[in-house]
Amino acid sequence: MRTISLQKENGFPLAIQAVSVDEVGATERADFFTKRSVKKDSKLAALYLALSMCDLTTLEGSDTPGRVQQMCAKARFPVPPDMIEPHLQKRNLPPIPAVAAVCVYPSMVPVAVKALAGSGIGIASVATAFPSGQAPLEVKIEDTRFAVEKGATEIDMVINRGAFLSGRYQEVFDEIVEIKRACGDAHLKVILETGELGSYDRVRLASDIAIEAGADFIKTSTGKVTPAATLPVTLVMLQAIADHHRRTGKKVGMKPAGGIRTSKQAIQYLCMVKETLGTDWMTADLFRFGASALVNDLLKQIYKELTGRYYYDKVFSID
């Protein structure tokens, strides 16, 4: 096992062990969770939990204030109240939960802030030259500060994969440290873009660097690169979080993003999180889904659990 020697901002040395991941073992272990399910009497609670962990996202060059406002309305009110409220009352069930956060470009943060005022829903913004990460550090810092000043409560940054793949690990570490400082009170989610890293060993190393640099969350993907989130990659990242927690007691969050489209997949991820990290991570404070398409399927399955039948998909969204 080789050691990556870095330097903290205070000048003290930092040694990161480059863990060698058993790819076959990780794949087989992750495949185990595809065969897991929850009992009938627990399924509705699992669907509610998964919905409360979702981040609704719009990150297109064609984004408009109207599009962001529409997404925020869905974040606050996922389903028409008169469609589902009678069924909830009949079974004495709590309301359908809102999602955890919305994620937009920095220029759209003020629109989201106004639309979500008083809701308690987080406002995340991508920064640092999303999705490429190819910009000078000064530009990335200003991008982050702008989003936070406009009201973002969470920042999703991307690492410079070119620097990482070239072995410039100190540069990657230093950028995360600087962006974390620029975040102030906002939480920092560090996107590794695992589809570009090429191996589980690199995913593990990038996870360890991000965690040591101060990430509040580590995140698989931007959603702009294939493959995005997968169970094996997420398992490797969860293990990095588990090992760090064992050493330090610090809890770091996890966000798989991209490619998670069904409730069945979401429940598989939840089972993996619980068995790898424990019940403390079964909260939106420490686990998120970056999967807007997942929200509609969760709502569809919740309606099925409540009524015994499916509703047509478009009722849950006018996107």
Tokens representing 158? 């991307």
Q: 276 near 242, Cβ under 8 Å?
A: yes
Q: Is 201 a catalytic residue?
A: no
C-alpha distance from residue 245 to each of 29, 49, 72 (Å) = 21, 23, 34
Q: 266 near 229, Cβ under 8 Å?
A: no
Tokens representing 221? 């993907």
* Cis peptide upstream of residue 131 (ω within 30 degrees of 0): yes
Considering 74, 189, 219, 300, which one is annotated as catalytic?
A: 219
Identify the CA nearest to 217 among candidates 171, 248, 259, 186.
186
Q: 298 near 260, Cβ under 8 Å?
A: no
Considering 140, 189, 255, 300, which one is annotated as catalytic?
A: 255
Q: Residue 232 is which amino acid?
A: P
Considering 55, 143, 156, 208, which one is annotated as catalytic?
A: 156
Q: Is 219 a catalytic residue?
A: yes
The helix or strand, by DSSP H or E, that contains position 182, with its residue range, turns out to be helix 169-183
C-alpha distance from residue 183 to each of 20, 62, 173 (Å) = 32, 26, 16
List active site positions: 156, 219, 255
